[in-house]
């Protein structure tokens, strides 16, 4: 075992040395650039096919610095320097920037942004599935201000639809796909004020099953919001914090199971049960794997909890049986939580796992009929710098010490957050602590119990039909309009027919399109 490890390590070092030697040759860089140029020239032939399938990968809190750091981490996990590595999203041919502000916030939250990139309208922070006319936490401003999402547009068009997340399924991001709620924290009626309940507002968990009752695939966490108050959790029966929270006494999982029992619908709460299913025999799937959010990838029990990649794999295999195609929302939601906790290692490993899921989705679909978009809702005040050398561990120290307090510092730092710490009135000396452990909280400039979001633009990566429409610097609410246009759903459908009125046929071969057009004209 020891020899195998050393041999593997030597091989990695050999690759590293080869790469460094190659980089000394100008021809290496010129040839690389020429290959890139050749690939870029192929993009002149735009993919204007109809998108049978549309997939949105949402990295919650995955700002550009997070993308760069995750890229380096991915490479270093594979024994490389890291900087030259490509994430799967890096390979997408089109990249744009998204302006993330909410209608009432310069630095946004995940609820108002979710309403933008799912429903196509900007909204106030803290609200989901409602326009900016709705006021946060004021129930009586809900009615008449509801806005629908691209998930509903796809379902109305006959497509299968799914939601996969590493957070609870009634968290901010997924809830904007199906709910209309003036408060993102109304997870169950147990978290709602009496006034809101009396005025007829519904909690988000209830809306998951009632607003669009036939969502084909739902996977994530959030069990406790589905069961009556004090109902013990199936996985943690002895821990009261995981008990059900509902005041209305309803068992939403039981109701769903009863409704779907004759429709090839299955409920699962662990990886074993999930993997026991044959996707070919499943039309509806509800998977709730934790009482609240799923564990961080670094802490995941690989025997009992599925990874994001594994959930995406099962979801696509179920959804793609529909000949009309599918819409799938995938959220890497705990990138955000890692950053809020100041735990950069957790956040970056979450981002790398989401990139694995993107890779898996790419293997199961085709760029010819599947539009895939990867983006973030907002950024964080996360950064890395300090003139680190090539190949420096992304979680390592900068090569210099502070010329003010004469102490070392890690490359990764936060603008604010729980990592602020003084020892005897001075900044903590990071060389005295294990700054590479999974839950190390990186130093922060301003003390806060939770680190905050950042307000800068975030990236949009896209590939597949009509991906070229995601270009330049765009408002965030533009995203679902492009995706709907590509799939011929929602309000933009005129282009899906030729001038003569025959169906738009660019998603099939020219010969077949000609034959079908002639047949249509003769009918």
User: Looking at residue 236, what DSSP letter applies?
Assistant: -
Q: Is 453 one of the annotated binding-site residues?
A: yes
Exposure of 17 by Cβ count < 10 A (0-12 exposed, 13-18 middle, 19+ buried)?
exposed
**Euclidean distance between the first and the last CA atom of the chain, given in angstroms as a whole number:** 72
Among 110, 149, 307, 383, the one annotated catalytic: 110
171 is in an annotated binding site: yes
233 is in an annotated binding site: no
Report whether 31 belongs to an annotated binding site: no
For 173, 401, 498, the CA distances from 503, given in Å and listed in that order, are 34, 66, 6
Residue 229, phi-psi category: left (phi > 0), alpha (psi -120 to 50), beta (remainder):
beta
Rounded to the nearest 10 degrees, the angle between the axes of helix 110-119 and helix 478-487 is: 30
User: Known binder of ligand: residue 452?
Assistant: no
**Kind of pairing between the strands at 422-423 and 473-475:** unpaired
146 annotated as ligand-binding: no
By C-alpha distance, which of 232, 314, 233 is closest to 271?
314
Residue 403 marked as a ligand binder: no
Q: How far apart are CA 252 and CA 204, in angstroms?
A: 12
Radius of gyration, alpha carbons of the chain: 24
110 is catalytic: yes
Q: Is 60 known as a binding-site position?
A: yes
> Do strands 408-410 and 397-401 pair parallel, antiparallel, or not at all (unpaired)?
antiparallel
Question: Using CA atoms, how far apart are residues 158 and 149, in angstroms rounded to an integer?
Answer: 15
Contact 23, 83 (CB under 8 A): no
**66 annotated to a ligand binding site:** no
Looking at residue 71, the DSSP 8-state letter turns out to be H
Instruction: Identify the CA nearest to 299 among candidates 309, 291, 287, 307.
Output: 307
Distance CA 324, CA 40 (A): 31
Q: Which residues define the annotated binding site?
A: 60, 171, 173, 331, 336, 340, 377-378, 453
Q: Which residues are annotated as a binding site for Mg(2+)?
A: 60, 171, 173, 331
Catalytic machinery residues: 110
Q: Binding site residues for Zn(2+), as ranges?
A: 60, 336, 340, 377-378, 453
């Amino acid at each position: 075992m020891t020899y195998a490890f050393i041999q593997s390590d030597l091989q990695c070092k050999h690759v590293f040395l080869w790469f460094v030697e190659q980089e000394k040759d100008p021809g290496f860089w010129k040839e690389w650039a020429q290959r890139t140029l050749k690939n870029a020239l192929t993009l002149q032939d735009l993919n204007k096919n109809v998108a049978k399938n549309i997939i949105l990968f949402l990295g919650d809190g995955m700002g550009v610095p997070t993308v760069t750091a995750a890229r380096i981490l991915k490479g270093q996990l594979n024994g490389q320097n890291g900087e030259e590595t490509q994430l799967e999203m890096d390979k997408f041919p089109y990249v744009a920037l998204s302006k993330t502000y909410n209608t009432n916030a310069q630095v946004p939250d995940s609820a108002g942004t979710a309403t933008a990139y799912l429903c196509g309208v900007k909204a106030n922070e803290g609200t989901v599935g409602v326009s900016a006319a709705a006021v946060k936490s004021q129930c009586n401003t809900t009615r008449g201000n509801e806005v629908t999402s691209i998930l509903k547009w796809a379902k109305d068009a006959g497509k299968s639809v799914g939601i996969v997340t590493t957070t609870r399924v009634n968290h901010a991001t997924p809830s904007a796909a199906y709910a209309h709620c003036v408060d993102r924290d109304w997870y169950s009626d147990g978290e709602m004020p009496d006034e809101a309940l009396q005025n007829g507002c519904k909690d988000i968990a209830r809306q998951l099953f009632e607003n669009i009752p036939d969502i084909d695939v739902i996977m994530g966490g959030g069990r406790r919001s589905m069961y009556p108050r004090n109902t013990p959790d199936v996985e943690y029966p002895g821990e009261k914090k995981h008990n059900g929270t509902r005041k209305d006494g309803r068992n939403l999982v039981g109701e769903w199971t009863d409704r779907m029992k004759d429709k090839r619908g299955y409920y699962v709460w662990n990886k074993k049960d999930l993997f026991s299913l044959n996707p070919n025999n499943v039309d509806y799937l509800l998977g709730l794997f934790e009482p609240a959010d799923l564990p961080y990838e670094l802490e995941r029990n690989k025997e009992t909890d599925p990874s994001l990649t594994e959930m995406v794999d099962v979801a696509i295999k179920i959804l793609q049986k529909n000949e009309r195609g599918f819409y799938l929302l995938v959220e890497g939601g705990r990138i955000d939580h890692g950053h809020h906790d100041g735990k950069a290692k957790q956040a970056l490993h979450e981002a790398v796992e989401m990139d694995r899921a993107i890779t898996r989705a790419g293997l199961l679909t085709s760029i010819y009929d599947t539009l895939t978009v990867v983006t973030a809702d907002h950024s964080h005040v996360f950064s890395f710098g300090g003139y680190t050398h090539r190949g420096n561990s992304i979680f390592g120290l900068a090569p210099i010490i502070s010329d003010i307090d004469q102490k070392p510092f890690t490359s990764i730092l936060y603008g604010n957050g729980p990592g602020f710490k003084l020892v005897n009135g001075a900044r903590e000396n990071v060389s005295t602590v294990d700054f590479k452990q999974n839950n190390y909280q990186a130093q922060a400039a301003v003390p806060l119990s939770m680190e905050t979001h950042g307000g800068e633009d975030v990236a949009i990566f896209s590939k597949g039909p009509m991906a070229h429409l995601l270009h330049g610097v765009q408002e965030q609410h533009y995203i679902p309009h492009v995706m709907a246009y590509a799939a011929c759903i929602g309000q933009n459908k005129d282009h899906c027919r030729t001038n003569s009125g025959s169906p738009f046929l660019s998603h099939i071969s020219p010969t077949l399109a000609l034959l079908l057009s002639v047949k249509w004209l003769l009918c």
